[in-house]
C-alpha cells in the first residue's frame, strides 16, 4: 500500500494566471520547487496532479497545476491538502524523524509505560511530545539527552536516565 505524507494545504487562488497559494507544512520549503507531481484527496481517493510551475511571492509558495486554468476548477482545489508519496519524502539526518513517525508511539521510562504520543508541539526552543495515558497528558521536551532510543517501525520511544524524574518513585 502506498503511503502519503501531508506537505501543504491550498489556501487561495493567486492572481489570474492559474496559481494557488499554499500553506506549507514542510520544514523544507525548497522541496516544492522540485515537485513534478503531487496528490490531492477527492472523495476518499488520492488523485495525482502534475505540477506545471512553482514560484514564491516572497512570503508563501505558489503552485500551478497542469489542466487547471479556470476559476471554477481552481476553486474546487481551495482548502484541499497536498500530499506526496512516502518514497519521495525528504531524507532526514540520523536520529531525526517526521512527526507522523512519532504519533501513536508508546513512551517508556525505566521500563514503565508512560503513555502514547498524541501530538508534537513545534516550539521555538525545542519540540515537545504530548503523551497521553488514561486521559492525562504529560509534556516531554524532545531533547536528544532525554531520549535513549526511538524505533519508528515498532513505534517505541524509550527515555534515558537523564530525563528528569527517571529515579522518581510514582507510587
CATH number, residue 136:
2.30.30.240
Q: How many CB atoms lie within 10 A of CB 21?
A: 19
Helix (H, G, I), strand (E, B) or coil at 60: coil
Q: Which domain holds residue 61?
A: 4-88
Residue at which a domain ends, from 65, 88, 111: 88
Is 159 within 8 Å of 148 (Cβ atoms)?
yes
pLDDT of res. 90: 74
Q: What is the pLDDT of residues 27-55, one digit of tens each?
A: 778 889 999 999 998 888 899 999 999 99
Residue at which a domain ends, from 59, 88, 117: 88
> Which helix (H) or strand (E) covers residue 100, if one does?
helix 99-102
Q: Are residues 81 and 15 in the same domain?
A: yes
Q: Are residues 131 and 70 in the same domain?
A: no
| Residue position matching grid coordinates 486554468 | 69
> Which helix (H) or strand (E) covers residue 74, if one does?
helix 71-75
Helix (H, G, I), strand (E, B) or coil at 85: strand
Q: Are residues 109 and 76 in the same domain?
A: no
Rounded CA Rg of the chain: 20
Low-confidence stretches of the chain (pLDDT < 50) are: 1, 169-171
C-alpha closest to that of 10 among 65, 80, 69, 70: 80
pLDDT of res. 158: 95
pLDDT of res. 9: 93
Q: How many CB atoms lie within 10 A of CB 136?
A: 8
Q: Please give the model's pTM, rounded to 2 decimal places.
A: 0.64
pLDDT of res. 70: 86
| Residue position matching grid coordinates 488523485 | 47
Q: What is the pLDDT of residues 132-153, one digit of tens each?
A: 999 999 999 999 899 999 998 8
d(CA 145, CA 161): 9
pLDDT of res. 131: 96
pLDDT of res. 165: 66
pLDDT of res. 130: 95
| Residue position matching grid coordinates 508519496 | 85
- Give the count of alpha carbons within 13 A of 57, CB side only: 12
Q: How many CB atoms lie within 10 A of CB 8?
A: 25
The number of helix segments (H) and strand segments (E) in the chain equals 2, 12
Is 166 within the bounds of a domain? no
C-alpha closest to that of 50 among 41, 40, 60: 40
Amino acid at each position: 500500500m502506498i503511503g502519503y505524507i501531508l506537505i501543504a494545504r491550498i489556501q487561495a487562488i493567486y492572481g489570474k494566471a492559474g496559481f494557488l497559494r499554499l500553506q506549507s507544512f514542510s520544514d523544507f520549503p525548497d522541496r516544492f520547487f522540485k515537485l513534478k507531481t503531487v496528490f490531492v484527496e477527492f472523495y476518499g481517493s488520492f488523485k495525482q496532479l502534475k505540477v506545471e510551475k512553482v514560484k514564491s511571492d516572497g512570503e508563501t509558495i505558489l503552485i500551478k497545476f497542469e489542466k487547471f486554468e479556470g476559476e471554477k476548477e481552481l476553486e474546487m482545489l481551495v482548502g484541499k491538502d497536498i500530499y506526496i508519496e512516502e518514497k519521495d519524502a525528504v531524507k532526514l539526518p540520523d536520529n531525526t524523524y517526521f512527526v507522523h513517525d512519532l504519533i501513536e508511539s508508546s513512551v517508556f521510562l525505566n521500563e514503565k509505560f508512560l503513555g502514547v504520543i498524541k501530538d508534537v508541539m513545534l516550539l521555538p526552543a525545542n519540540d515537545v511530545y504530548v503523551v497521553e495515558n488514561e486521559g492525562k497528558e504529560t509534556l516531554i521536551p524532545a531533547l536528544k539527552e532525554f531520549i535513549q532510543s526511538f524505533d519508528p517501525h515498532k513505534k517505541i520511544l524509550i527515555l534515558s536516565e537523564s530525563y528528569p524524574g527517571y529515579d522518581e518513585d510514582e507510587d
